[in-house]
Structure formats: C-alpha cells, structure tokens
Structure 1
Amino acid sequence: MKKVVFLFLSLLLFSCARVGSPVGGDKDTLPPQVVGSNIDTSRVNVPRDIRELRIDFDEYITLKDINRQLIISPPLRKMTKIIPSGLANKYLLIKWDDTLQANTTYNFNFGNAIQDNNEGNPLRYYNFAFSTGEKIDDLYISGELKDLMAEETSVSTEKDLVVGLYTAKDSMEYRQKPYYITKADPDGYFELNYLSPGTYRILAFEDGNSNSVYDAGKENVAFLKEPVVLDKNISGLNLTLYPSRKAVKYVEMKEAPGGILMTFEGNPQTVNVLSLNEKLQDYKVTHKPKSDSVHIWFDAQKQDVGISASENLRFSYDDGFKKDSVSLFYRYNTRNELTLSNNQGNLLAPGDGFTISSNYIIDSIQPEKWTLVSDSLSQPFTARINENNRFEVNIQSEFKEGKKYSLTVPRETLSSFYVSVPKSYRFDFEADKTENYGSLVLTLENMPENTFWLQLLTDNNKIAYSSTGKTAVFTFNALKPGSYKVRILVDNNENGIWDSADLLTDEFAEDVYILNKTIEIRPLWEIRETWDLKAAEDKPGLQSSGETSSTPVIP
C-alpha cells in the first residue's frame, strides 16, 4: 500500500512541475500579455548607461526567428544576449554593450517573434519604446510597399521586405543600417513609428540575407529621390520595389562548349578580350551588347590547347569600366561537342515556326541540304539564323494543322566558327490544331511614346509571350488556355534593354505598367481588351485597369 501511495504522489509532483499544455479544456488562443519591465512605465529619461531590457509576461514564452524579426531603431551594434534562446521563460531579456544616445527614442520592434509556449500564439507586431530624453518621439510614416516585378502575385511572407530612414546628408552611405527601420507585413503595409522630427532619405529593399543593409545589384529596391521633411505624420506613402542595377564587374571564367565562357555583372555594353597566350592566336570573341556573357571560341585540338594536360590561359579584358587580365587552367572536354536540340516541344502552335537550338553559336547553315517531310512528301521551307539569338535557327513553312513533320539536318550542314555538327539529326513534330488555343486582341490607349515590351505572364510571373513595338494594337492568335497577367516594360532611353533602378545615381527603373486584372484564355475564344495606360501620379510603378470583352471563335 505504501508503494502505491508513493507512486501516486510522485506522478502528481511530476505533472505539476511540467511546463506545457494542460490536458483537456478549450484550446488557448490568446497571446502572452506583458505584465512589467525593468524600465518604468513613463519610459522617459532612461539612463544612457542602461545595458539591458527585460520584459515580463503572464505566461511562458518562446522566441521564433528573433534574429530576423527583431528590429531596433536606432540600431544597437553590440548585442550580447537574448533570452529565451532555447527553453521557455516568463521573461524576455536583451543585453547590449552600446551607450545609448542622448535625447533619443529607441524602439524595439519584435514583429511576431514573441509566442506563448503552449500553442504558439504570437504577440503580433509588438513594440517597446523608451527615450533617453524627456519625451518619447511620436511621429510616424505609414504606407504600402508593392513589388511589380515579384515572382508572386502578392508580397511573400518568406521575404524580409524592410523600409528604412537615413538621416539626410550631402553624401549618403547606404552600406550602413538605417537609422529607423521596420518590416512590411505580408500585404505590403508598413509603419515607421516613434520618429523624431528631421530630414530623412527613405529606402525600402528586399533584405535577402537579413543583414538590414541594402545590397545593390542583389536586392530589389524602392526609394524617393527627394528627402522627406518629417514635421508631421505621413500616411499613405506608396513605394514600388524594382530590381536594382549591378555595377559592371568581372565574375569568372570557365571552360564551356567550344571554348571559354566569361561572365560579368551589370550588363556591360561592350567587352574587348585579347588572348595573352602564344599558342592561342586563332580565336573569336562574341558578346551581345548589354549581355553578361562573353564567349571565346577556338579549336582546342588544332592548336593543341589543353589536350594532354590543363594549361594556364591568360586573357586581358576591357569592359568599359575596368581593364585587367585574368586566367584559368583550361582542359579540353571531349564531351562538349556541337549538339542540336528541340526546346519548344513536339507540338507546334498555329502560325509558329519550328526552332532548332544549339549549344554553340551558329555561324553558317546549309538548309538546301536539309529536308522537311510530311506524309512522305518533301515540303518547301526557309531556315534562318536568329539575329537576336545566334544559338537558334528558325524554320518557316506552310505547316498545316494536325499534320506531322520530320526535319532532317545532315552532319556538317550547320557550323560554328571552328566546328560543324558531327552527326545527323532528325526532329519530329506536329502542327497543333487551332481549336486547342484562344486569342487576344489588346488595344492600348495613352500608350508610351517610346518602344516597349508587352508581355503575357503566367501566375508565377514567367514570361509566356512577348512582343516589342510602338503599336496601339497587339494581336496574339495562338495562346495556350490559362490565366495571364499583362505587363509593359518601357525602354525610356531607347537603349534596347529595360533598365533597373540605380540608387547611387538616383535613377528610377524604367516605366512598368501592370494591367490590374488577369486575362482568362479559353479554347476558341477571342478576348478583346482595351487598356488605358494613363500614367498614375506615383511613378515609378504604374497600374491601370481595362475593359474586356470575349467572343467565341466559330471555326
């Protein structure tokens, strides 16, 4: 009997000592509540030599992603401890080594990091502010952050989208943390609270590495060209994120099919490359303006370069910003022969041509030696190297719906600079039926004066169809059924590419228009859309809606 009583008491004590969820009862849906702190309730005239903040709660808490969620404004550089770091606790403790600034309001924004231990209920967007002066600054800036070039239709919760204020100076240093900083919520809404009066530069960016510092060329950015004079609250501020421009910079060099591939950042206009090797004198260099890739083509076997062993090859380059020399240990790869492929699939959309792709740049073709056959009968066709992409050959013919075709490319009838295709290829494909596709006629009002790209995007912002020009009417006759977004990128400076944002020179990204609806394409239906592109006042980042009508196409 004594053993039974002892066992019962032991179990009772053990269950009382556990920190966890109670058994039974309604599920806890309430977040933890603050019951006190080591800073008095007025939170003013806080000593500058204070080295910690302790906040007490009414239940056990844990911290989730505290290093990503916690934002302190102005920033404290020397953080030494954050509790709880593992086991649950009834208080939160943050320690630092910095001496606080005089007459300054500090705000600890915890985001959704504070959660109760039982059910994980977050204390949403909790802020704790105090001042080393006689009052807590109470100005704020609120607004919305949009990402028109995002890969999702809305701001993703997985991204750290931050908005910061920098004290305005003649020479701005954006490689430091902002003086005030906050995060946008999943819908793009943001608030910068407890701000002191002053003149600031505002900057928003996609903090991909969670370091609270803007990394140009790697993170999307939004900014205002003019400083913000903060003497009263500001609400309804709209900011639009765009890809940021990279500085031109050499990245690497590596062996590639047909020779060597050099890569750069920043879309150099031109790159001049010279060989500094006695053995390598016969070579070709190709670089498309505003491209990050430079190819060096040569016949490694003929010049005995890297055949029996790796050789150190040196080259000089001039990218318009820097002149330098680089090298690599090159070894010829016998598997990197010239090959052809069909990357568009075996169903040819109505009105489309057939495309052959090569892993080598294409210098010449002999289409008179090729054959296109349907129902055992030869069919006339034309073949041309794609001027905009010399890795492709476009085949045009009177392809008829439902017909199957075979294109034969004999060996040595397609050549790069130093090599021809070593074997014959046969490509089988079928011309698809119109009934499997829909069409779109898009009429633009108040269209841009400059050349622009009109793009149809899939749900994840992948470009499905694209057309370039200055016309007011665009017709897409063979669209795969599905949902599409419509985007226009404007070539404001007419340099042939869409230029991203450059914070260092205060250059906005070139204009972008987003149709504020999706287009539903159905088989055998013709959609007619009128889109008014009258620019919004909050450039850059333009959105407008249109009027849609749809008509079934009677075959």
Structure 2
Amino acid sequence: MKSAALRSIIVLFILSIASGCANIVPPEGGKKDTKPPKLLEVSPADSQLNTKASKIELRFNEYIQLNNPSTEIQVSPLISLPITSQVTGRKVVIKIPDTLLKDNTTYRISTNGAIKDLHEGNAFPPYTYTFSTGAYFDSLKLSGVVYNAATGLPDTGAFVLLYDFDTSDSIVVREKPRYVAKIGAEGRFAFDGLPSKKFRIYALHDANGNLVYDGKEEMIGFRDTLVEPLPDTVIPITLQSFKEIFIDTLTEKENKRKPAMFADRKPKEKLILTFSINADTNINKRSFDVTKPLILAFDKYADTLHKDKMLLTTDSAGADVEVAYTMVRDTVLKNNVWIKAAWKDDALYTVRFMKAFAKDSNNNESAPVKYTFRTRNDEDYGIIDIRLPLKYKDRKYLLMVTADKDTVYYKPVTDTVVVLKKMNPTTYSMRIVVDENKNGKWDTGDLFEKRQPEMVIPYIGNVPLKAGWESVVDFEPKPKIKDKADTSPEKRDKPPTK
C-alpha cells in the first residue's frame, strides 16, 4: 500500500513539472502584418458622369475599422447635412443625402485617414472618390499661402474657405463655405477640381470647428477682390490671418444699470491689503533685472498710495543710501504698481513699506514689510548687434524684438545699425512692422471695414544669446558665395568688446 501511494506521488510530481514546462514556452507566432488594406472593388464605379451617388461601397481584402469618420471622411463641395459611414466586415458603406447634391457639380469624397485594418490598425492610404452630377468634371485649380499677419510667418493652423461670388461679404459669419481646404506645411493651401466661376476667399482659425467665423478668439483673413480658379495656378494667392479687436461694453453698461438697492449695506470686515514683488530676496544671488522696474503686484486695486511711507535704499560701504525713484501704475494690469529707479549693477537694495502705505476702496491697509534683493551684473547680460538694410531707414518701419511673449524693443528705424545692450541670455525673434499710418504700433485688420492688417516682415530664424557674449545679426543676410572663403555668416557670436 505504501508503494502504491509512493507511485501516486511520483506521477503527480512528473505531471506538475510537465505542466510547468508547457506554460513557460508559448507557441511561436507568424510575422506581424504591416501591409495596409487593399481596395478590391468600388460600387458604383469611380469617376461617373451624370449621376447622383447616394451610397458608395468600398470592399477590401481584410476586415476593416473606421477611425474618426465624422472628421476624416469629407465631401467637397460641402453639403448642409453630414454624410454617414459604417463598416460591415470587409466593406465600408458611405451614404450621401443625394437630395442636397446640386446639378452640374463635381463632388469628391475623401477618406483621408479614416480606414484601417481591424487587427493591426494599418491605415489605408487617403483615397478620393469622384463623381459629377453633370456631363463633365470640374478641373480648375487655386492655390496660395497664408501668413500670420502679426508675425509675418507662415500660418499652418487655419482653413481656407471659398464662397460663391454672388453671396454677401458677411456670409463667413453666417454659413459654412462651399469649399474648404486645410493649410499644409509652410502655410500653403490648394484646391483642385473647382468649377469655372469666381469665389470669395477667406482664411479662418476655427476654434470651435463649425467652419463659421465667430470673432473674438478666432482669426480671419480675406482678400479685397474675388478670385477665379485656372487650369494651372500661375500666381499664388496670399492671405493674412489676423485677430480683430472687439470692445465689450456690456459689463460696463450692466454695472451702471445696477440699482443701489442691491448694494451690500452690511459693514465689511477690515482686511489686510497684500502685495508681492518681482524680486528674489536671496541676497547672495544676482537676480534682479536692472532693465526692468520693481513691480508691486497687489491682490486687489489700491486706490491710495502714500509715497512718503516707502523708502528705497542701497548699500554703500555698509551704509544705507537713499535712492530716488518714481512710482507709476500699470496701465494694463491695473492692480500692479511700478517702481522705477536707476538701478546699479551688482548692488544690494532694500525697500521698506510702512503701515498703511497702500489703501483700497474699503479702507483696507497694507501691513509694514521689508524686502532686500541684489541686482545682476553686466556680465549676466549679452549684446545684440542688428544690421538693417538701408531701405528700412524710415520712421514708418518699426523694429520689434521679442523674447517668448515679451516685447523687449519696439521703435522706429532711424539707423542701419541697432545695438541692444543688457539683453537677457535667451532666444530672441525679430520683425519689422510697416507702420503705414505712423502711429507707432502694428494695427490689425477689420473684416467688415475691408481694412487689411499692416504688413509685417519677419526675420527668418531665431537669435540665441549667451551671457557675456555679443550676437551680430544681419536682418536680411546676403546670399552666401561658395567661391569666396571669407563670406560672412548671417549671425556671428563673439565676446563683447570691452
């Protein structure tokens, strides 16, 4: 009996080892499928004349799935109702409301990236199905480039819209376009298969995807004249996209209408009016930018400022020396106050605020506080030496230098050489504004007043700047001549001349 039990244990042990080994080694699979689906049949046949296709069937060699069909599958020209699509095994069915199709019009259904195989997700290449409700195919073309008017650089985030020539100039705010093209690389767009007729043309940054200009957060561009497609595009069309200025006076009017009975008559609890400064108080670190003001950022608007309750001093051989300053309010950020002074390099400053230095409309006062900070040294900055062509030496040209979203220089061009000192080490961009009305700033356009934005000429590329170095930049670099070894590059970095 003992031997029988022993044999059972041995059998179970062997089976467990065999089972474990079988689980460790999985069966080998084949190579991964990387081929896209293959289109086997289209019904009705592509490129039919005198037809109104209401249902198009695409049959493939494998099972299919759809990827964002509502946005990827498009019809041109647009129709007022969306087309629908569904998958049945290896077949894609696209349905079109044929009652909305116009006579003597060429329609193109583009699948873009909507069709993929079911298992591996391999995309079927973009495919266009064409049919005409008339006896011929429209085959004219229209192309061009869209620029961002504020920067002068190509705009790659917009759509270009075409409307029939006999519509009003306000059609872009009321209805979807007849034809639409997405802008590609370098701001370029192209329409193919257009009819022989004139169109109104617009560029649109469509924030909500409705293909209608809604103003405010959207950008628009237009052409003063109608455009007409040709068999071959000879002269590209240029559009400038811009953001209009909208003044909203509703809030102001509502505040004026607000009855006094709604005012809170309860006595308000007295609070402390607080603020912060734009300076690092680590005195061992040279951090404060001498080219900028000291900014007091209040938590709410300070109605009253007592200059006699603020003292600005600098350390001179261990003694505090009072520093002259001016105090101005920020015209944009209303809660901010600027303290301007002739800041010295690598100097230690202390600013003291006594109690009730500032008060708000509820008579809340600021508390006493003291800040100490150290300014940067000259070696913490760089120099940009900009060389401009003589043709821009005119007060109607404004040179604009920016770093990220900050404008660091914005003045009329009065010389062909502009040297900018004490520049923070970062990457800069430049442009020239053609200030036609000479008001000292760039003016945007207006759609309904038919006013185009002022032209902007960008510097192509960026200007990287290192601390303690000088960057020499030719705004319009001369073409490089390969035969000459001494040809100068457009940018030349070197330590600044002492």
TM-based fold match above 0.5: yes
User: Which structure carries more relative contact order (alpha carbon 8 Å, separation 6+)?
Assistant: 2
Asked whether the equivalents of residues 383 and 393 of structure 1 are also in contact (C-alpha less than 8 Å), the reply is no
Query: Matched residues in 1 for 2:296 and 2:375: separation?
Result: 16
CA 351–457 in structure 1, closer or farther in 2 if over 3 Å, else same: closer
**Residue 198 of structure 1 aligns to a residue in which SS?**
coil
Query: Which residue of structure 1 aligns with residue 312 of structure 2?
Result: 372
* Matching residue within 38, 41, 44 for 1:39: 44
Say if 2:90 is the partner of 1:90: yes
Percent of aligned positions that are identical: 22
Give unmatched runs, 5+ long, in structure 2: 1-27, 282-286, 478-488
1:91-130 aligned at under 5 Å gives the runs 91-99=91-99, 100-130=101-131
Q: 1:362 to 1:452 in 2, by over 3 A?
A: farther
Instruction: Check conservation: 1:223, 1:239, Cα contact below 8 A.
Output: no
* TM-score, length-scaled by structure 1: 0.70
CA distance in 2, matches of 1:116, 1:483: 45
2:463 maps to a residue whose letter is I
Q: Secondary structure at the match of 1:67?
A: helix
**Is 1:233 equivalent to 2:232 in the alignment?**
yes
With 225-234 and 115-124 compared, the bigger mean Cα shift is at 115-124
What is the alpha-carbon distance in structure 1 between the residues aligned to residue 247 and residue 102 of structure 2?
A: 39
2:73 is aligned with 1:70: yes
**1:398 and 1:144, CA in 2 relative to 1: closer, same or farther beyond 3 A?**
closer
CA–CA separation in structure 1 for the residues paired with 2:215 and 2:342: 49
Of residues 427, 431, 444, the one that matches 1:483 is 427
Distance in 2 (alpha carbons) for counterparts of 1:357 and 1:453: 30
Q: How does 1:15-30 map to 2 (within 5 A)?
A: 23-25=29-31, 27-28=33-34, 30=35
Q: What SS does the corresponding residue of 1:68 show, helix, strand or coil?
A: helix
Equivalent positions of 1:182-201 (< 5 A) are 182-201=181-200
Matched, 1:59 2:56: no
SS at match of 1:228: coil
Instruction: Confirm or deny: 8 A CA contact 1:457 1:487 kept in the other structure.
Output: no
Asked if the contact 1:242/1:500 (under 8 Å) is kept, the reply is no
2:276 aligned partner: 341
- Whether the 8 Å CA contact 2:273–2:366 is kept in 1: the answer is yes
Q: Does 1:171 align with 2:174?
A: no
1:245 has 2:185 as partner: no
| 1:367 CA drift (Å) | 2.9
Per-residue CA deviation, residues 287-345 of structure 1 (Å, 9 max, x unaligned), is xxxxxxxxxxxxxxxxxx32549xxxxxxxxxxxxxxxxxxxxxx7976x643221365
SS in 2 for 1:439: strand
> Does the residue aligned with 1:502 lie in a helix, a strand or coil?
coil
How large is the Cα RMSD of the aligned pairs?
3.5
Give yes or no for contact 1:198–1:231 (8 Å, CA) kept in 2: no
Size of the aligned set, in residue pairs, is: 445
The one-letter amino acid paired with 1:81 is: T
* Change beyond 3 A, Cα 1:554–1:530: closer
* Cα distance in 2 between the residues matched to 1:438 and 1:356: 27
List alignment gaps of at least 5 residues for structure 1.
1-21, 254-261, 263-270, 281-304, 310-331, 534-545
CA-to-aligned-CA distance 1:451-482 (integer Å, 9 cap, x gap): 74613133xxx225243445445443222222
Greater mean alpha carbon deviation, residues 350-359 or residues 188-197: 350-359
Secondary structure at 2:475 match in 1:
strand
| Superposition deviation, residue 166 in structure 1 | 0.9
Task: Determine if the alignment matches structure 1 residue 520 to structure 2 residue 455.
Answer: no
Match of 2:396 among 420, 428, 450: 450
> Aligned partners of 1:128 and 1:426: how far apart in 2?
73
1:156-167 paired onto structure 2 within 5 Å: 159=157, 161-167=158-164
Query: In the alignment, which residue of structure 2 is the partner of 1:381?
Result: 324
- Counterpart Cα distance in 1 of 2:269 and 2:71: 45
Query: Structure 1 250/334 Cα, relative in aligned 2: closer, same or farther at 3 Å?
Result: farther
Q: Deviations over 1:489-511 (max 9, x none)?
A: 45544567643332223222222
Q: CA deviation digits over 1:186-237, x for unaligned, max 9?
A: 5533221211111111222122222222323332222221111224332662
2:289·2:376 contact (CA, 8 Å) conserved in 1?
yes
Report the alpha carbon displacement of residue 524 of structure 1 after superposing the two structures with TM.
1.0
Show the 5 A alignment for 1:99-498. Answer: 99=99, 100-147=101-148, 149=150, 159=157, 161-169=158-166, 171-172=168-169, 173-174=171-172, 175-234=174-233, 237-250=236-249, 253=251, 262=252, 274=256, 277-278=259-260, 305-308=263-266, 338-343=273-278, 347-361=287-301, 365-373=305-313, 374=315, 375=318, 377-386=320-329, 388-389=331-332, 391-415=335-359, 419=363, 421-445=365-389, 446-447=391-392, 449-450=395-396, 452=398, 454-458=400-404, 462-463=405-406, 465-472=408-415, 474-494=418-438, 498=442
Distance 1:440 1:417, change over 3 A: farther
Which residue is 1:509 aligned to?
A: 453
C-alpha displacement of 1:274: 4.0
CA distance in 2, matches of 1:423, 1:98: 74
Match of 1:320 in 2: none
> Aligned partners of 1:334, 1:36: CA distance in 2, in Å?
79
Name the structure with the higher strand share.
1
Cα distance change, pair 179–55 in 1 and its aligned pair in 2 (3 A): same
